[in-house]
Structure 1
């Protein structure tokens, strides 16, 4: 009977629409904690009907016992979730367990290294015959191969929810693991959102942030046991929609190699040279992960330092003013209160023991004009062609001159030993020639002797004036002669 059923399956494999590839629903993990509990109850034991269905997979080309066992696990997992959530009164989000099952199936294929593609007979068999273990069309159009570019983003979301749900597992250090995972992956996930311009993924990522904010306080006691006083703050970008306004921002032209505009002639901002500034622009002028306040202040000052450096290197380019204004408007003014706090802290501190204050000292020394200008800039000035900003980015800016001198110091420091050595060697050679060769006699007779003669003549004349009484007579038309006399004492 099994072989008959299998033959029927093979020859009628187009009964249901095979979805080769489509963009998945990312927002399917809100109930992951409950799914994970159900997953622990999965076994390979099944009814005879399911066994016959899954055993038939072994007859397919390139199949294996791993694929057969996965089939049984999937069917059992489906039945567990079906019994839990097959209720029309349950919210739509919880009814997304079929979408989650499809993600789970795709993840198992990858984890068990079962090579499955949309074109494989295994996948077609599995998709077209789900009705052998479920009477309703719950899985219709829900099972399909997820392309890697989509699966990788789904897996990012899965890991965030999974690590959060594992916080309560104190024995495994759940809080610490969640914190470390967010440090490494949260900003990276948003970078993928922007670089691939995937709005549904961005929305799902923001959905996790909201889920986390609503639930994080319930886990604080568990984190205190691990020595953590609080959980990190997860932020979302000011905007993650691909609007025309976002697309036209100057920063997009500065960080994306493929974005070019002939009117914007400033150089590209590269991650290798301006890492903090580059990341800020990539995340659309947003800070997304704030774990340690001191680290955040350090990063804020590094951003400012790299921004000023970039402006100095692109001085004199007219389009630079557009980026300067955009940076101030989109980022600096929105964080001005925090910057002012940093300035006060570092200005009043007697010793710059904090790492961020050392950066502040460097910024205030090298870029004093830039710093003093933005400290006092007003919002209304950003909408005008301000003379302050125009001067800062011009070729004649004093900060630029100072910057160039700083660069010149490096050159001077390299050639100074050469100059000193050359001068010392030249003087030594002249001394030897003067002392031990005819050149010395000639030099004495022509240069030093003449100078000595002039000196003696002047000396004799002066002495003559002091040794004798001198009288000068001048004709005066009114009084006749006037006598001037000198009598040395």
Structure 2
């Protein structure tokens, strides 16, 4: 696999969190709208001297991650989070966030270590120790594809279960899902173990989705 951050240490991705993806992505979406991230400004200090072009963006990611850690580990209203899912989801989330800034900027593992150095008392941050690493770019693309499949599936389900369902929107989403499914099948045939297993678990959902789209087209 080809990656530009040649000095980084890459590992195969863990897909466990896809078993309950919607819960974690919903929390990440709420994070984007939160005003409480500024509470972490004093311990997110990626400076312009070391990161002249990206310091501000890296600090934003740092604050977002700490907000999510607090939400997942310290929210008394939410005791249904799976610790292993939290770790694997946040590793995927962090890889995604950093590659959007610039895929050559900083290794994910190095970024995480810098966060620990800047905030030595943060126990939630240390809960991720050993679980934050760089994901191969090709595999990250597979995860994006699987993420898109799950996302469209959930949206279609919500529409179908609504009394005032929008059939045109539902069919459009189903077509997108079918396109992604075809791409995933091509990758799935390569028998990449982790992706192979994660995609297999989605197939039963997709089969049911086909029945729904068939009824809409009928």
Taking structure 1 as reference, are residues 208 and 145 closer, same or farther at Cα in structure 2, changes over 3 Å only? same
Q: Structure 2 unaligned runs (5+)?
A: 1-7, 160-164
Are 1:148 and 2:142 counterparts?
no
Of 194, 207, 216, the match for 2:189: 194
SS in 1 for 2:129: coil
Mapping 1:33-44, distance limit 5 Å: 33-42=22-31, 43-44=34-35
| Rg (Cα) greater in structure | 1
**Corresponding residue of 2:177:** 182
SS at match of 1:140: coil
| Deviation (angstroms), 1:159 | 0.9
Q: How far, CA to CA, are the matches of 1:154 and 1:107 in structure 2?
A: 10
Gaps of 5+ in 1: 1-18, 232-291, 293-489
Query: What is the match of residue 206 of structure 1?
Result: 200
Q: How many pairs does the alignment contain?
A: 200
Are the structure 2 counterparts of residues 83 and 91 from structure 1 closer, same or farther at C-alpha, using a change threshold of 3 Å?
A: closer
Q: Which residue in 1 is equivalent to 2:56?
A: 65
Give deviations 1:4-60, integer Å, cap 9, x for gaps. Answer: xxxxxxxxxxxxxxx822111123222222223322321253465x22111x11256
C-alpha distance 77-123 of structure 1, shift in aligned 2 (>3 A):
closer
Q: Conserved in 1, the CA contact under 8 Å of 2:28 and 2:68?
A: yes
Q: For 1:31, what is the secondary structure of its paired residue?
A: helix
Report 1:6-155 matches (<5 A).
Answer: 20-42=9-31, 43-46=34-37, 48=39, 50-54=40-44, 56-59=45-48, 61-62=50-51, 63-83=54-74, 87=79, 90=80, 95-113=84-102, 115-118=104-107, 122-126=111-115, 132-135=121-124, 137-155=126-144
Higher relative contact order (CA 8 A, sep 6+): 2
- Aligned-pair Cα RMSD in Å: 3.6
TM-score normalised per structure 2: 0.73
Shift of 1:151: 0.7
Give the structure 1 partner of residue 5 of structure 2. Answer: none
Render the CA deviation track for 1:157-180: whole Å, top value 9, x for unaligned.
Answer: 111111112222556965224321
Mapping of residues 252-271 of structure 1, within 5 Å = none
- Indicate conservation of the 8 Å contact 1:67/1:114, yes or no: no
Give the drift of 1:139: 0.8
Contact preservation (8 Å) 2:16, 2:88? no
Q: Secondary structure at the match of 2:10?
A: coil
Tell me the alpha carbon deviations over residues 433-461 of structure 1, each in whole angstroms, 9 at most, x when there is no partner. Answer: xxxxxxxxxxxxxxxxxxxxxxxxxxxxx
Cα–Cα, structure 1 residues 106 and 186, in superposed 2: closer, same or farther, change >3 Å?
same
Q: 1:177 to 1:101 in 2, by over 3 A?
A: farther
C-alpha displacement of 1:134? 3.0
- The change in CA–CA distance for 1:122 and 1:201 in structure 2 (over 3 A counts) is closer
The 1:97–1:135 alpha-carbon spacing in structure 2 relative to 1, beyond 3 Å, is closer
Deviations 1:68-127 (A, max 9, x none): 11211121122222245975xx585x7412211111111122334464332895454136
Change in CA separation of 1:181 and 1:64 when aligned onto 2, cut-off 3 Å:
same
Deviation digits for residues 152-211 of structure 1, max 9, x if unmatched? 11111111111112222556965224321233221221221333x412211110111134
